[in-house]
Every structure is written in structure tokens, then in C-alpha cells.
Amino acid sequence: MSPIRTSLFLAAFLLAVTPAGATTVKTGKPAASQPAAPVWATRAQLRECADTEAGLKERFRVIEASNDAHEKKFDQLEAENTRLEQLHDQLDRDSDIAVKAFNVLVKEHNEHIRQLNQEAADARPANDAYNADMAAFNHKCSGLRYHLEDMEAVTRERQKAAAQAAAASASL
């Protein structure tokens, strides 16, 4: 090899190996970590989430029925209040008997309101617990990644178990 050819070869080699103008910048911060590889939910996790969801749905139905009953009582109290307002407008204030009878109705109405308010206060812990459990469920289960065949298998297992439970209760 000629000396010029050797020099050109050596220069090309050095250019290829040596980083051209590379500098290291130090920011004082570590490089951003790469996101973790996706983790797939196991069938056991899917079963647990499905069981929790079913329990939450049942609790919601109970709470909803309670809320519907509460709304019905509220509507009845509104109608009772309207009736009392009408009676008040027609009240013979000169009659002690009429005034006392009206006051008895007002006391009964106030007691109905107190009972309704107490029922609402008594229902609050169950509603709060449901909301907390739903938030925990969403945190735990809503972001799960799963294989479709795993979810289908868990769904089939649950359907089979439900059918067996229905058959067992029907045979009693």
C-alpha cells in the first residue's frame, strides 16, 4: 500500500471511530426512565376484578333502591307541605281548636322531615363506603391490560358458575 493510501485509510478510520464533535451535557438530572414493559393481568386478577365489580353492582342496586324510596318520601313530604300551606291559608285563627289541630299537623310534618333527614344521615356511611370502594376498584382494575382469551375464559367461568348456582337454587 502506498503511503498516501495508508494515510487516507488511517484518516478515514479515525473519522469513523472518533465521535465527530460530540460533547456530553451534564444537566444534573438523570435521564428519563423508559416506561416499563406492559404487564398483562393474570386470570386470577381478572377474576378478582370481576367479582369486585359484581359486588359493587349489587351494592349500587341496593343504594339506588334506597335513594328511590327516599325520593318518594321526599315527594310525599312536599305534597304534605303544600297541603299544610293550603290549610294555613284557610285557617280560622279565631278558633283555638282549629289552631291547635293545625299545630298538631305541623308537628307531625316536622317529625316526618326529621325522620327523612335521619334516614339520609344513616344512609351516608354506606354511600361513602361504596364511593370509596368504587374508587379503589377503578384504581386497581381500570388500567389492567389483559389478553382477550383470558377475559373470555374468566367470563365463561363466571357464566358457568352462575348457571350452576341458579340450577342449585331452582332444585331446592
Question: Following DSSP, what letter does each residue of 17-84 receive, concatenated?
Answer: HS-SS------SSPPPPPPPPP-BPPHHHHHHHHHHHHHHHHHHHHHHHHHHHHHHHHHHHHHHHHHH
Letter for the amino acid at 79? Answer: A
* 50-73 mean pLDDT: 96
Question: Which pLDDT does position 172 carry in this prediction?
Answer: 78
- pTM for the model: 0.68
pLDDT at residue 95 tops 50? yes
Q: How far is CA 172 from the centre of its chain?
A: 36
pLDDT at residue 98 tops 70? yes
Query: Exposure string (b/e) for 10-19, b if CB count within 10 Å is 16 or more?
Result: eeeeeeeeee
Contacts of 1 (CB under 8 A, 6+ apart): 9
What would the pLDDT profile of 14-28 be if each residue is shown by its tens digit? 455 455 555 555 666
